[in-house]
Structure 1
Amino acid sequence: MNLQNGFLLSYIKYGENDAVLHCFTEEDGFQTYFVKGIYSKRNKKKALLQPLSMLSFTINPARGNGIPSVSGFELVKGHDLYMDIKANTVIFFISDFLNQILRHENKNPGLFFSIDEFVNELACKNYQCHLLFLITLLKIQGVAPLINDGIYLDPETGTFSDRASHQLFGEEISSIWKTALFAENLYTTKVPNSLRKDFLDSLLVYYHYHITDFKIPASLEVIQQIFE
């Protein structure tokens, strides 16, 4: 039995009362846990199952070929994000995103801290922070663009050049990328409202080229509608 802090990325109901949790933990990276009885009528802990909640799990080791089970969990850090429709939409989008790309990620303190930092930014009503967090992830994964004197970002090569190579990566969008990559505090980068959709689309194109088996998150359509 051990204690493990982790961000909840997703959960799936299993049977009548149980659930399978996918989490990114501080000590062991991406983990899958089984929690028994969470959906029973007397169990009030199911209210804590919110995407990107930081939870402290009490873990029992797996038996045989099974997965570790959770005998209890507590909220480590909570925010009033889920009553704010914009923040709630961002949280679901990023948790959906992370649940896909972190499946094989081991312990990574920098990544764990960056998720916490992102949630704090969102709690301060920085509604563009998800866009910049996706660049932070690219940096941590070691596939962020290389900065040079070029004007246009080439998403396939990850370099800037003097000639546009993709319709989404015009001068304005490429400039936002470069500003964010240069910034000491990436979250101070301003993304104009009129360019947020195109900038997000450019991020997804870049991920397609540089993250193996990347798929567009199912929640993309919702977040685009909210920020139109």
Structure 2
Amino acid sequence: MLINTNAIVISALKYGEADLIVNLYTLESGLRTYMLRGILKSKKGKFKASQFQLLTQLEIVANHKNKGALEYLKDAKVINTYATLHTNMIKASVVMFIAEVLKSAVREEEANPALYNFLETAFSWMDLHDKIANFHIMFLLKLSGFLGFQPDNLNTEQPFFNLLEGTFEPIKTNDYCIQDENLDILRAFLNVGFNDMEQVKLSSSQRSDFLKMMLLYYELHIDGFRKPKSLTVLNEIFN
């Protein structure tokens, strides 16, 4: 089936000497994988490797066989050229981290326009703003809602947050109930959006500890979720 759709680059893996295997999250068909043959050596081909940098927004024409195998990409063009995401060292580190999270957390081969529009808006926002120290944390919280396990913002005055249930509770019921500093930070982030997230003031150690907790939250709710390898680099950047 031939489709024309917007897509976001989730990963691009070198295959052999000249090929790329790319994962794209598409507006029309969810997550899809494509083989791009000869792209790393051919200077005259229709595709350029630079088009498939992480989180790049594309418009593609593709032939989907819907058999769970590699799909065929007929055409692709960048539709929102980022000004800073791939050139600013800090932002590039965040991009790498987020792309790893998405590759591990998003697996559905079906349309989810709300999730796609969130990703498109979030990445465009990050490209245009300089104060992004809390962006990856805000992103994880927002993304969890589209994946079905956003923290419940009811009863936030309770002294514990249960990572297993995603709810605030009056007593500790298991080893995954958090309290004190990380609980206060969670409350603060639940009350802000991207435009005012920098109001949540964190030290590098606080940010690192809270991020560690958020990744555990993802591990508890997504089977097979893996901590991003780029986490170490990200923590060093914000230290």
Fold-level similarity (TM above 0.5): yes
Identity across aligned pairs (percent)? 26
CA distance in 2, matches of 1:73, 1:104: 22
**Which region of structure 1 is more displaced relative to structure 2, 60-69 or 13-22?**
60-69
- Judging changes above 3 Å, is the alpha-carbon distance between structure 1 residues 211 and 167 closer, same or farther for their aligned structure 2 residues? closer
Cα drift, residue 159 of structure 1: 1.7
The aligned residue for residue 146 of structure 2 is: 140
Cα drift, residue 102 of structure 1: 0.7
CA distance in 2, matches of 1:104, 1:64: 14
CA distance in 2, matches of 1:160, 1:186: 23
- Judging changes above 3 Å, is the alpha-carbon distance between structure 1 residues 61 and 139 closer, same or farther for their aligned structure 2 residues? closer
Secondary structure of the equivalent of 1:217? Answer: coil
- Note if contact 1:35-1:71 (Cα within 8 Å) is conserved in structure 2: no
Cα drift, residue 14 of structure 1: 2.4
- Judging changes above 3 Å, is the alpha-carbon distance between structure 1 residues 169 and 105 closer, same or farther for their aligned structure 2 residues? farther
Q: Does 1:69 align with 2:72?
A: yes
Any idea what the Cα deviations from partners look like across 1:129-183, whole Å, max 9, x if unmatched? Answer: 1111101111112212222130321212222234566689332221221232244
CA distance in 2, matches of 1:167, 1:100: 22
Q: Does 1:102 align with 2:106?
A: yes
Residue from 214, 223, 227 that aligns with 1:216: 227
Give the AA of the match of 1:150. Answer: Q
CA distance in 1, matches of 2:65, 2:164: 41
The aligned residue for residue 192 of structure 1 is: 202
Provide the aligned length of Structure 1 versus Structure 2. Answer: 227
Q: What 5-or-longer segments of structure 2 have no aligned partner?
A: none
TM-score (norm 1): 0.89
- Note if contact 1:176-1:191 (Cα within 8 Å) is conserved in structure 2: no
CA distance in 1, matches of 2:171, 2:66: 57
The aligned residue for residue 159 of structure 1 is: 167
Cα drift, residue 187 of structure 1: 4.8
Give the AA of the match of 1:169. Answer: I
Cα drift, residue 212 of structure 1: 1.8
CA distance in 2, matches of 1:64, 1:213: 23
CA distance in 1, matches of 2:215, 2:68: 36
TM-score (norm 2): 0.85
CA distance in 2, matches of 1:141, 1:64: 24
